[in-house]
């Protein structure tokens, strides 16, 4: 089983400092300290043998939440400072960007750092920045425009993969045309040049451009990860296209059920996969000398952010039980109660080394006879405000690398 650290990228300060320095995301001293710590995490992860490092794209979080708007740009520096670890922007929100520019940027990175890039694509959920960057309303996932949002997402992924695979192509879709217009760009001044040196069919006898192609072609095609939380169609689409599914906010039975649906959808697409192949499970992992020590840190890290931020975007609905009040979003009262629910659902692996090893066995086997390809470690310690910040990170990373990972080795003959 491979392990990806999916780290937060928040400004790690207390609520008091956050209020005193508001908006702390615009405080360059605090931002640079956070950036240095984030860089150090990537270096330590590489030295300790983790397989991948990733984080999410976010914008406008001047309150000091997740604060990296362009992970790929940052990873170019990180890759130069490390040796083996794969970097995974998790996720690139394709609906708010130009798909061909995304395809070009990712392809270029594969030449700069061959074999060291994966990528996750998502639709996005934060209206503040999605609507602003997209210049439209109803563009966030699971909102009033969800159906159109999904169609746009599917089309943009198709364009990215087409741009990587084809020397040149034409696309005439609902949301995008390439070239523009897809019926052709007339009077191309370099028609003779393109006709002689470009790809066949790029330009016709009248000098009209009918196809375009990106430069460069990926040196090594990145593994594509697709987050899954609610939409069942995501499972089918990921399996059909050979994309790795990232299962988030799900309990034991749900993880096994989703992995089984992915396996079945892959089989219908002519791919014979074992249960858990090309599947990753997102989980918080917190280690301590005692269970209580680990649990307290879980409350302070992931529990805090899910209670105060992600609850408001319905992220906690995956922990809902039939006996819970029907009001949405699900609110269990405080971060400690929410963290307890995460643990009971199996989405938080927590305790001593022995306890986490035991909990990890179920996840690694997809709670049955499977074999999970990826553990996506949802890593919130980066966001903890503490004078012992570096010591917390080193303890979590080193303890996991030395005492957990060796018990769940990667079978490279079957993974991916």
Residue 413 pLDDT level (bands cut at 50, 70, 90): low
pLDDT in tens, 237-283: 999 999 999 998 677 888 999 999 999 999 999 999 999 999 999 99
Distance separating alpha carbons of residues 246 and 224, to the nearest angstrom: 10
**Residue 415 above 60 pLDDT?**
no
Grouping H, G, I as helix, E, B as strand and the rest as coil, residue 286 is strand
For residues 7-25, give the mean pLDDT: 97
The pair of structure tokens assigned to 27 is 């405080």
The pair of structure tokens assigned to 224 is 């594509």
Residue 38 pLDDT level (bands cut at 50, 70, 90): very high
The pair of structure tokens assigned to 317 is 């609905």
The predicted model scores a pTM of 0.95
Grouping H, G, I as helix, E, B as strand and the rest as coil, residue 178 is strand
Q: Which fold has domain 235-416?
A: TIM Barrel (3.20.20)
- For 389, half-sphere exposure in the C-beta direction (CA atoms, 13 angstrom radius) is 18
Grouping H, G, I as helix, E, B as strand and the rest as coil, residue 225 is strand
**Residue 322 above 80 pLDDT?**
yes
Q: Partners of 122 in the beta sheet?
A: 93
pLDDT in tens, 293-319: 999 999 999 999 999 999 999 899 888
CA distances from 44 to 20, 85, 136 (A): 31, 10, 41
Helix pair 28-47, 71-81: axis angle to 10 deg: 50
pLDDT in tens, 57-92: 999 999 999 999 999 999 999 999 999 999 999 889
Q: CATH homologous superfamily of domain 1-166+213-228?
A: Luciferase-like domain (3.20.20.30)
pLDDT in tens, 356-395: 999 999 999 999 999 999 999 999 999 999 999 999 999 9
In degrees and rounded to multiples of 5, residue 407 shows phi and psi of: -85, -10
Domain regions of the chain by residue span: 1-166+213-228, 235-416
Nearest to 249 by CA among 286, 297, 282, 295: 282
Q: What is the mean pLDDT of the chain?
A: 95
Task: Say how many C-beta atoms besides its own lie within 10 A of residue 335's C-beta.
Answer: 20
Instruction: Please tell me if the domain spanning 1-166+213-228 has the same topology as the one spanning 235-416.
Output: yes
């Amino acid at each position: 089983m491979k392990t990806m650290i999916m780290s937060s990228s928040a400004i790690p300060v207390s609520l008091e400092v956050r209020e005193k320095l508001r908006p702390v995301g615009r405080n360059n001293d605090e931002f640079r300290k956070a950036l240095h710590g984030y860089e150090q995490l990537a270096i330590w992860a590489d030295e300790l043998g983790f397989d991948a490092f990733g984080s999410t794209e976010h914008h406008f979080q001047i309150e000091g939440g997740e604060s990296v708007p362009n992970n790929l740009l940052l990873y170019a520096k990180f890759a130069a400072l490390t040796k083996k670890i794969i970097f995974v922007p998790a996720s690139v929100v394709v609906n708010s960007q130009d798909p061909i520019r995304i395809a070009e940027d990712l392809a270029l990175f594969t030449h700069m750092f061959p074999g060291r890039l994966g990528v996750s694509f998502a639709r996005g959920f934060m209206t503040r920045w999605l609507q602003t960057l997209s210049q439209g309303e109803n563009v966030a996932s699971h909102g009033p425009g969800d159906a159109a949002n999904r169609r746009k997402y599917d089309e943009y992924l198709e364009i990215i993969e087409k741009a990587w695979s084809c020397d040149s192509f034409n696309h005439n879709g609902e949301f995008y045309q390439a070239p523009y217009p897809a019926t052709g760009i007339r009077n191309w001044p370099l028609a003779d040049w393109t006709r002689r040196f470009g790809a066949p069919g790029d330009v016709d006898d009248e000098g009209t451009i009918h196809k375009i192609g990106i430069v460069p072609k990926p040196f090594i095609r990145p593994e594509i990860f697709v987050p899954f939380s609610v939409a069942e169609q995501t499972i089918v689409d990921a399996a059909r296209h050979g994309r790795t599914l990232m299962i988030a906010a799900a309990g034991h039975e749900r993880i096994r059920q989703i992995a089984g649906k992915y396996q079945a959808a892959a089989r219908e697409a002519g791919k014979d996969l074992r249960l858990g192949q090309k599947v990753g499970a997102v989980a918080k992992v917190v280690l301590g000398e005692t269970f209580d020590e680990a649990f307290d840190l879980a409350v302070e890290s992931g529990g805090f952010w899910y209670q105060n931020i992600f609850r408001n975007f319905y992220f906690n609905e995956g922990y809902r039980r039939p006996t819970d009040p029907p009001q949405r979003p699900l609110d269990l009262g405080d971060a400690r109660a929410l963290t307890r629910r995460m643990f009971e659902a199996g989405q938080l692996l927590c305790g001593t080394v022995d306890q986490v090893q035991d909990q990890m066995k179920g996840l690694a086997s997809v709670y049955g006879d499977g074999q999970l390809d990826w553990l996506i470690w949802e890593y919130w310690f980066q966001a903890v405000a503490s004078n012992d910040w570096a010591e917390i990170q080193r303890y979590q990373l080193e303890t996991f690398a030395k005492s957990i990972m060796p018990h769940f080795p990667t079978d490279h003959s079957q993974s991916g």
